[in-house]
Amino acid sequence: MLKLEGISFTYGEAPVLEEVDLRVDQGDTLSIQGVSGSGKTTLLKLVAGLEREHKGRVYLDDEEITTRVPEDRNVVYLSQEALLFPHLSVFENIAFGLTVRKVEKEKLQAQVQGLIRRLGLEGLSDRSPEQLSGGQKQRVAFGRALIVNPDLLLLDEPFASLDRSTREQMQQLFKEVVHEWGITSLFVTHNVKEAIMMGDHIALLKDGRLHQYESMQAFIDDPQSGVKEEKSFWESL
Any contact of residue 85 with another protein (CB under 8 A)? yes
Any contact of residue 196 with another protein (CB under 8 A)? no
Any contact of residue 75 with another protein (CB under 8 A)? yes
Q: Which residues contact 171 (CB under 8 A, 6 or more apart)?
A: 159, 194, 197, 198
Q: How far is the CB of 219 from another protein (least distance, A)?
A: 29
Any contact of residue 72 with another protein (CB under 8 A)? yes
Size of the site for another protein (CB under 8 A): 28
Q: Determine which residue in the list 16, 30, 90, 145 makes contact with another protein, applying CB under 8 A.
A: 145
Going 215 to 220 to 224 to 227, the CA torsion angle's sign is positive
- Near another protein by CB under 8 A, which window of 67-75, 168-176, 199-207, 215-223? 67-75
Cβ distance to another protein smaller for residue 8 or 99 = 99
CA 120 to CA 123: how far, in whole Å? 9
Q: Over the Cα atoms of the chain, what is R_g?
A: 18
Any contact of residue 224 with another protein (CB under 8 A)? no
Q: Which residues contact 2 (CB under 8 A, 6 or more apart)?
A: 22, 23, 24, 47, 58, 59, 60, 152, 184, 186
Q: Please give the full DSSP string across 24-64, using - where no structure is assigned.
A: E-TT-EEEEE--TTSSHHHHHHHHHTS----EEEEEETTEE
Q: Determine which residue in the list 15, 70, 128, 211 makes contact with another protein, applying CB under 8 A.
A: 70
Any contact of residue 73 with another protein (CB under 8 A)? yes
Q: Determine which residue in the list 148, 177, 216, 220 makes contact with another protein, applying CB under 8 A.
A: 148
- Near another protein by CB under 8 A, which window of 95-103, 121-129, 163-171, 198-206? 95-103
CA 94 to CA 33: how far, in whole Å? 29
Going 171 to 175 to 176 to 180, the CA torsion angle's sign is positive
C-alpha to C-alpha distances, 130 to 79, 86, 89, 97, nearest whole angstrom: 17, 7, 10, 20
- Near another protein by CB under 8 A, which window of 76-84, 163-171, 172-180, 202-210? 76-84
Any contact of residue 64 with another protein (CB under 8 A)? no
Q: How far is the CB of 85 from another protein (least distance, A)?
A: 6
Any contact of residue 69 with another protein (CB under 8 A)? yes
Provide the CA 21 distance to its chain's centre, in angstroms: 18
Provide the CA 237 distance to its chain's centre, in angstroms: 35
* Chain residues that interact with another protein, rule: CB under 8 A: 45, 48-50, 69-77, 79, 81, 83, 85-87, 96-97, 99-101, 144-145, 148-149
